[in-house]
Amino acid sequence: MPDASPDPAADIPEPGEVRRLMPGLLRARMPLPFPPGHVNIWLLEHEGGWLAVDTAIASRTTRELWDRVLAQPALGGRPLTGLLVTHFHPDHIGLTGWLCGRFGLIPAMTRIEWLMARALWYDSGPDMMAQQIAHYARAGCPADYLAHVEARGPLYQRAVGELPRAFHCIRDGGTLTIGGEEWRVMTGSGHAPDMACLHSAARGVLISADQILPRISPYVGLHPGEPNADPLGDFLASLERFAALPEDTLVLPSHGEPFRTLHPRLETLASHHAMRLDALADACREPATAFEAAQLLFPRAAQEPGQIGFAVGETLAHLRRLERQGRVEAIPGTGEAVLFRAR
Ligand SMILES: [Zn+2]
């Protein structure tokens, strides 16, 4: 690769520390108590301080680690002067309120991600739980899993602190001036509805959030609040837009290590989902519920209560894609359950 700088993947920051990736761009890494186990935070030099990209989940551990990160010599004792949150998921937005309160900031987000976060944060009542349980019942999940969901209750507020009341709206194609440099906002869909990524042509860097990850394929799931959506179709369509970026782009993902193989990675993600769709269409020659089909796509996860929701959500996203392609159809099953049958 045409790059004289040291291998960025070789130097993973310990919790509470930072690593300098290039002038004016630092990386911190916060632990997560669930897979994939960590989230990357990027710090860009900006107006006498640092603009942070993402925050980690809200917990005492992550607040203590932020204190240590902010005290690192590489930051020069300078404060956060900006915050950009890529999307509404807790591992990215969790400490937004805490950081904004501390530094007097307003977070930059796309409007959809901001509104999703605000809506979910306040949506924790019995209606929401009833909707979740009905969603998993239609997916054919066993009664003990429905009981598990009910007992677990709403999750979002547990890992997300109270959010600020105002935000700064960013949108696809817009440019942000960060530390005197232009970064272009590129949004992706499918993992989250309007996730912000940042591209600097001058640096040859893409901050890819969760849209393009180096090892795992980003979770693409059907949300109970939008049961007829086609998130996998949205995801695959938005991947194509990133193929317009130069081949030697340095990709900074939210999970995993920086990498320079953007184009092969985009192809791998697309072919991975094409293979999964074929396998699923084949399996539906015997009509199956989403839960049954999930046993094929995610044999391990579909057995663990903590992972069934992801396995079923992602299987439903694939079934919806097949439905749009005219390859499967939904038919009534027993009780509330819906079956998917190959056409
Ligand atoms: Zn994430």
Would you list the domain boundaries of the chain? 8-124+155-282
27: left (phi over 0), alpha (psi -120 to 50) or beta: beta
C-alpha of residue 136 to centroid of ligand 1, in Å: 23
User: Residues 249, 291: contact at Cβ < 8 Å?
Assistant: no
Q: Which residues of 229-248 are buried (b: 16+ CB within 10 A; e: fewer)?
A: bbbbbbbbebbebbeebeee
Neighbours of ion ligand 1 (CB under 5 A): 91, 210, 254
Q: Please indicate, yes or no, whether the overall pTM of this predicted structure exceeds 0.85.
A: yes
Per the DSSP assignment, residues forming a β-bridge with 195 are 188
Residues ≥6 apart with Cβ < 8 Å to 136: 145, 146, 149, 291, 309, 312
User: Residues 222, 324: contact at Cβ < 8 Å?
Assistant: no
Q: Are strands 49-53 and 175-178 parallel, antiparallel or unpaired?
A: unpaired
User: Fold for domain 8-124+155-282?
Assistant: Metallo-beta-lactamase; Chain A (3.60.15)
C-alpha of residue 56 to centroid of ligand 1, in Å: 9
Ranges of H-type helices in the chain: 60-70, 90-93, 96-103, 111-122, 126-138, 143-152, 156-159, 231-242, 262-283, 290-297, 305-324
- What per-residue confidence (pLDDT) applies to 144? 94
Place of tokens 């092969």: 264
How are the residues of the chain apportioned to helix, strand and coil, as percentages rounded to the nearest 5?
40, 20, 40
C-alpha of residue 267 to centroid of ligand 1, in Å: 21
C-alpha of residue 343 to centroid of ligand 1, in Å: 35
- What per-residue confidence (pLDDT) applies to 10? 61
User: How crowded is residue 177: how many other Cβ atoms within 10 Å of its Cβ?
Assistant: 10
Tokens of 16: 């509470």
Q: Which residues of 264-275 are buried (b: 16+ CB within 10 A; e: fewer)?
A: ebbeebeeebee
- What per-residue confidence (pLDDT) applies to 4? 46
C-alpha of residue 315 to centroid of ligand 1, in Å: 19
C-alpha of residue 324 to centroid of ligand 1, in Å: 27
Mean pLDDT by 10 residues, the chain (343 residues): 50 94 97 93 97 98 98 98 98 98 98 96 90 96 94 92 97 97 98 98 98 94 93 96 97 97 97 96 96 92 87 97 97 95 96
Q: What is the dihedral of CA 96, 98, 101, 106, to 10 degrees?
A: 0
C-alpha of residue 213 to centroid of ligand 1, in Å: 10
C-alpha of residue 113 to centroid of ligand 1, in Å: 13
For the chain, the C-alpha Rg in angstroms (whole number) is: 21
Per-residue DSSP letter, 13 = P
Closest CA to 161 of 117, 127, 195, 116: 117
C-alpha of residue 150 to centroid of ligand 1, in Å: 25
C-alpha of residue 91 to centroid of ligand 1, in Å: 6
Closest CA to 311 of 332, 327, 296, 294: 294
- Cα angle: 163, vertex 177, 39; to 5 degrees: 45
- What per-residue confidence (pLDDT) applies to 118? 96
User: How crowded is residue 48: how many other Cβ atoms within 10 Å of its Cβ?
Assistant: 10
C-alpha of residue 89 to centroid of ligand 1, in Å: 7
- What per-residue confidence (pLDDT) applies to 1? 41
- What per-residue confidence (pLDDT) applies to 3? 45
- What per-residue confidence (pLDDT) applies to 34? 87
Closest CA to 42 of 57, 59, 30, 54: 54
C-alpha of residue 109 to centroid of ligand 1, in Å: 15
| Burial class for 228, CB neighbours closer than 10 Å (0-12, 13-18, 19+) | exposed
| Burial class for 256, CB neighbours closer than 10 Å (0-12, 13-18, 19+) | middle
C-alpha of residue 228 to centroid of ligand 1, in Å: 24
User: Residues 305, 216: contact at Cβ < 8 Å?
Assistant: no
C-alpha of residue 198 to centroid of ligand 1, in Å: 15
